[in-house]
Structure 1
Amino acid sequence: MYRENDGGNRSAQLTLDSLKLQTGGDGATPRAHEETRLYHVEVAEGEPEFESSSIPHRFTFRDVLQANLDGSGGKDHSMIVVKKGTKDTYLNYHTTDTKNKKLSRLIKENRKAKWYAHRV
């Protein structure tokens, strides 16, 4: 959450829904929604405390993907988007120094995982 910003708002909050992946053929397309809330500095009685908007989240270079692989509820693995292809997203991560791993392959290898995307 950002606080004391200069837009006439007290704070801004960006949240990202849990990632859903659409797979097909040899590719995977991540789908999620970002929700932004801009909290007003002064709120008159009966007026809303914030404005909100929701937009689709599209992976871009340097975004971070985290996974809960073991069902424990915690995020136990982090990866970074290094490339977007026409059919797939490619990730790097430190476990065994993996480079350019296809997201679709990760999903097939970890079918029970929950995925979380973060815009950087």
Structure 2
Amino acid sequence: MKVNTLPLLVLFLSNCSSNAVDTVESISIKGTWENTNKTAVFYRTLTFADSSATFTSRGDTIYRFNYFIDQPSRTLWLTDIFNKKLSAKILKSNRDSLVLSNLWELDSKQRFSKRK
């Protein structure tokens, strides 16, 4: 008696591949965020649009960037007007809170809340 093992192999491979696929939660940071450190001098507010970002400081300085989020690595990439590129890990992102590992030249963790 000849047994056809092809259907079993296809079934096995389809089960393996469906379990191996990881879903990456999409990160959206569009909108305006306020630094939770009320005494912060730099980056008091961050405003993200489609691919551009504007940061403000306590003084009259406005910083403009293009940005990109690498979803799988949860990394925010910023490019300034001089084409300087830096990255920050997105440690937390939900509708009310944004926490970054660092931000531009600030090496410490930065926390922001969504402006309502």
The structure with higher relative contact order (CA 8 Å, sep 6+) is 1
User: So what's the TM-score if we normalise by structure 2?
Assistant: 0.33
More strand by share: 1
User: So what's the TM-score if we normalise by structure 1?
Assistant: 0.32
Max Rg structure? 2
More helix by share: 2
